[in-house]
Amino acid sequence: MIPELGHLLAIFGWTAALGVLVSGFWGGYRHSEAWVALSIRLAKLQFVVLASSFVLLIVSFLHDDFSVLYVANNSNQLLPWYYKISAVWGAHEGSFLLWTLVAATWTHLVANRAQHIPLDIHGYVLGSLGFINFLFLAFLITASNPFERLVPNTPINGVDLNPLLQDFALIIHPPMLYIGYVGFAVAFSFGVAGLLTGKLDSAWARWLRPWVNYAWAFLTVGIALGSWWAYYELGWGGWWFWDPVENASLLPWLAGAALIHSLAATEKRGAYKNWTVLLAILTFSLSLVGAFLVRSGILTSVHAFAVDAQRGLVLLGILTVVSGAGLILFALRASTLRSRLEYWGISRELLLLINNVLLTITVATVLLGTLYPIGYEWFTDGEKISIGSQYFNAFFIPIMLVLSFFLALAPISQWKTTPLKKFQKCFVFLGFAALVALILPWVLANTFYVGATIGIALGLFVLITHVNSLLKRRKSLHLGFVGMCIAHLGFAIALIGVAVTSVYSYSVDGRLAIGDSLDVSGRSYELQSVQTIEARNYLAERAEFVVGNRITVYPERRFYPIRAMQTTEAAIRPVLFRDLYVTLGKPMDNGTWGVRIQEKLLIRWVWFGALIMAIAAVLACSDKRYRRLSKRDLSQYSRT
Amino acid sequence: MNEQRQIRFWVIVFVLCGSSITVLLAVFAIQDYIDHFYLPDEVVQGLAPYDRTIRAGGFVVLNSIKHSEDELSVEFQLTDMKDSTFLVRYTGLLPSLFREGQGTTVKGKLGVDGVFRAREVNAKHDENYVPPELKTLTE
């Protein structure tokens, strides 16, 4: 009964989305307060209905209702209750229900929190959001129904959640990602509304900015969590593999970062209007490209969902319809927009332009590398290839380094034009940063890498200029500026982390008997014992290592009998500036064990930096000046 | 105004040229980073190039995994479950999901002796998972 009700509610949510679509567009078109009000109510209805449907799926999981195919495939009686809940989004169907719920949540929030924007824009934004979720839900109820029954051959027990997904970070990683991906639908819809009404001005940018910041912040946290998960759960110490699915999340992230910056120029200077609205459309399109890549199984990936070609085609259809509609609208209306750009000196406008050009090129090169295997297979009639991570590094790293140089100038630059004199001090900072970056590797590690040194130097350069500007302006700080500076500091921290950990990390594989030890960068790792332990839904071999006579770590190998699956649980111990990382491999014939021992310098800075960026993005749009200006905008445009 | 337009025009030209050059560069450069994938029969028939980084895959033959006595090196055979089988050598820790019968992809170089020297061994996901490259073998 419960699953049928859940399915029914999803269908109901679909009709509500249709209602939001029709009433929103009609209300926007007719400037009708009543129709927009209806749209707002239907958005709320859609949210409540889908949330209930989602709760019912959770209930099915908690009740171990294995007559539901999706539950049987992804859960088990022995699974702890919190993993039963997270198993709801552990595979395609359930996670897509979450996806539509997130879309409904954003729609509901826009309906209620954006009541100060003009009626026609509000209506069109809701209509467009309704349109998007209408398509998603149509896909859900026809091709990916999570409530599908498995009768009459109902299994007594489920086949369990994939053990790799039985993990804390994976409980929150997908929701974070989806909030980010789908959040860009709000940017898309604002773009559509702006194009339809022609009201693409500073006020429009001001309404949109907080939404983009929030979506981007969630996406940042989601990506960082995914990288952290890969780092400790896969057991091999890697944190970014240029895997197609990782790229799928990186693409909208990069585009979203560009959008945040071009929106700043559009809001403050009325510049780059055409580009900003195009970027809003493209960013969400890249989210959809990501959904397509992950869910169609078209690419080889560690993380992709189960393979289904038909699903891929439907998602490709949604992508084509949504971005096609956005792009056609843009092509028809863009010529009516007038950007105001009066200054081409060394100005903040120019730096923001450079930011956007570089980020767009990055998106293009990453997209090329990600889609190339699909195109190749298509044109060569089935020849399989993959693009090595060297390709991505060869383009991504140099562009990011150039980007960080210009980034360092951001807090000094001014709108319109900046006197060259202001930049003079910068070169002192740059010289100092370069000097530190040159000396540091010799002090720390006795080895020297050009790439890492440039990365560290530029990271320090960004840190210094931003801290300097914050101190200089400490009397007249506002949250917008502070947020920008903190986000850039986060970027610098992540950059230094990446530069250092990529080269100053050590890895030794060995074969140890009990009592043997292995030396890695001056520390000894001694294997003390290996014990067998039995947990609720797995068996484990747990080794005890003593590191440098003081620290004890316990790496494990787990066997999950239900799926007959072996996993490694690396032991990771953060000590000052580095992680000690011990992986237990297979037992060998003569009582020895395969072991991999790694030391990773500054690896935590990568995720820490990302977290700072996310917090800063939220901080920046909490600026009180926003609310004041938004109120002023409202009085300029009367709502009707 | 006229001058403004001119400046704007040139900025747009400059940006477009710069980005297209970079993207073109990427399009040409990507050729060098392509890793081709070969199935066991292609490896056996000599269709795969020697001494170049390639990817190959198959299912791990039962009882074919042989660890060396003291080092971390290991040998195993990959098959297409028909009549083609080739030998892989690898030194290092094997992924935890690596086991007999599992669909596995390897990255490395094929020697003239027909032995594949792997730098990476990939066996991920659960027992139901088959890497997309190997799907033609199971159909």
Minimum mean pLDDT range among A12-26, A558-572, A604-618, B122-136: B122-136
Of A116, A148, A164, the position where a domain reaches its end is A164
Rg (CA), chain B: 23
Nearest to A93 by CA among A144, A135, A19, A128: A144
Minimum mean pLDDT range among A6-10, A301-305, A525-529, A543-547: A301-305
A526 forms beta bridges with A517, A546
Is residue A61 domain-shared with residue A193, that is, in the same domain? no
Residues of A in contact with B127 (CB under 8 A): 563-565
The pLDDT value given to residue A483: 95
Of A122, A146, A164, the position where a domain reaches its end is A164
Note whether B57 contacts A: Cβ–Cβ < 8 A. no
Neighbours of A462 (CB within 10 A): 28
Computed from CA positions of residues A471, A475, A479, A480, in that sequence, does the dihedral angle turn out positive or negative? negative
How many helices and strands (H and E) does chain B possess? 3, 7
Residues of A in contact with B131 (CB under 8 A): 300
Note whether B7 contacts A: Cβ–Cβ < 8 A. yes
Quick one: pLDDT band at residue A147, thresholds 50, 70, 90?
Answer: very high
Task: Tell me how far CA of residue A489 lies from CA of A247, A440, A536, A614, in angstroms.
Answer: 24, 20, 44, 11
Interface probe with A: pick from B15, B31, B33, most Cβ of A within 10 Å: B33
State how far the Cα of A156 lies from the Cα of A113, in Å rounded to an integer: 47
Contact A283, A187 (CB under 8 A): yes
Note whether A379 contacts B: Cβ–Cβ < 8 A. no
State how far the Cα of A215 lies from the Cα of A173, in Å rounded to an integer: 14
Note whether B31 contacts A: Cβ–Cβ < 8 A. no
Residues of B in contact with A344 (CB under 8 A): 7, 11
Task: Tell me how far CA of residue B34 lies from CA of A247, B54, B107, in angstroms.
Answer: 17, 9, 12
Is residue A183 domain-shared with residue A303, that is, in the same domain? yes
**If you average pLDDT over every residue of chain A, what do you get?**
91
The answer to whether the Cβ–Cβ distance between B27 and A162 falls below 8 Å is no
Is residue A458 domain-shared with residue A392, that is, in the same domain? yes
Is the pLDDT reported for residue A22 higher than 90? yes
The answer to whether the Cβ–Cβ distance between A365 and B26 falls below 8 Å is yes
Interface probe with B: pick from A386, A396, A568, A598, most Cβ of B within 10 Å: A386
Number of domains present in the structure of chain A: 3
- Supply the ipTM of this predicted assembly: 0.87
The answer to whether the Cβ–Cβ distance between B135 and A307 falls below 8 Å is yes
Is residue A596 domain-shared with residue A610, that is, in the same domain? no
Of A124, A140, A164, the position where a domain reaches its end is A164
Region at A546 (left for phi over 0; alpha for psi -120 to 50; beta for the rest): beta
A27: closest CA of chain B, how far (Å) = 38
Ordered alpha helix ranges (H), A114-201: 119-143, 168-197
Q: Return the axis-axis angle of helices B2-29 and A348-379, rounded to nearest 10°.
A: 40
A402: closest CA of chain B, how far (Å) = 14
Facing residue for A368 by CB, picked from B30, B70, B105: B30
Span A607-632, average pLDDT: 87
The pLDDT value given to residue B125: 56
Task: Tell me how far CA of residue A162 lies from CA of A303, A431, A557, A562, in angstroms.
Answer: 11, 51, 15, 10
Computed from CA positions of residues A312, A318, A321, A325, in that sequence, does the dihedral angle turn out positive or negative? negative
Is residue A257 domain-shared with residue A390, that is, in the same domain? yes
Is residue A351 domain-shared with residue A425, that is, in the same domain? yes
Is residue A234 domain-shared with residue A279, that is, in the same domain? yes
Is residue A387 domain-shared with residue A402, that is, in the same domain? yes
Query: What pTM, to 2 d.p., does this model score?
Result: 0.94
How is A240-254 classified by DSSP, letter by letter?
A: ----HHHHHHHHHHH
Is residue A176 domain-shared with residue A269, that is, in the same domain? yes
In the stretch 256-295 of chain A, residues with CB closer than 8 A to chain B read: none
The pLDDT value given to residue A448: 83
State how far the Cα of B89 lies from the Cα of A476, in Å rounded to an integer: 65
Q: Which residues contact A1 (CB under 8 A, 6 or more apart)?
A: none
Please give the interface size between A and B, counted as residue pairs whose CB atoms are below 8 Å apart: 115
Interface probe with B: pick from A166, A509, A511, A560, most Cβ of B within 10 Å: A511
Is residue A339 domain-shared with residue A431, that is, in the same domain? yes
Is the pLDDT reported for residue A442 higher than 70? yes
State how far the Cα of A41 lies from the Cα of A33, in Å rounded to an integer: 12
The pLDDT value given to residue A116: 80
Is residue A397 domain-shared with residue A460, that is, in the same domain? yes
Specify the pairing of strand A539-547 against strand B115-122: unpaired
- Domain range for A587: 506-601
Is residue A491 domain-shared with residue A366, that is, in the same domain? yes
